[in-house]
Homo-oligomer: A and B are copies of this chain.
Amino acid sequence: MPRAPTTLDPFNAIAEPRRRRVLDTLAHGEMPVNGIVHTLGWPQPMISKHLGVLKEVGLVIMRRQGRQCLYRVNGGQLKPIYDWAKTFERFWTHQLERIRQRAERTARQRAVDQPDPKISHKEK
């Protein structure tokens, strides 16, 4: 089975660095495709394709205005990513976490060096 489609969810969509840059560019406000083209300096078809993926997963919203297509970020779709990453926040925030982990590890290590006959080897 191949990798999941980039349009499966926001996690897959933002895996591509260029797509994140497109979102960054739109972060300040609505902008026509050409605005992004000029800002990033990439070929227009490339911008359009990435916008297509972003639109399909709902990360951006498009509205027409004459011959222009105005795109804007639909930030709410990024919340699941934020929430998930936040779950691991303690790993970089609290120095305590590192201490806790080390303690846990040495405890386990000790249990191996001097196993308790009554509890050892009982996993499942």
Give the B-binding residues of A (Cβ under 8 A): 3-4, 6, 9, 11-12, 14-17, 20, 23-24, 27, 29-30, 34-35, 38, 65-66, 70, 72-76, 78-79, 81-82, 84-92, 97, 101, 104-105, 108-109, 112, 123-124
Contacts and interface: CB of A to CB of B under 8 A. Distances in A.
A96 to B, nearest CB: 13
Contacts of A89: 75, 82
> What does DSSP make chain A's interface, helix, strand, loop or mixed?
helix
A105 B32 CA distance: 12
Q: Closest 10 A-B residue pairs measured CB to CB? A: A75-B91, A82-B85, A15-B15, A75-B88, A12-B15, A76-B92, A79-B92, A81-B85, A78-B88, A11-B15
B112 A92 contact: no
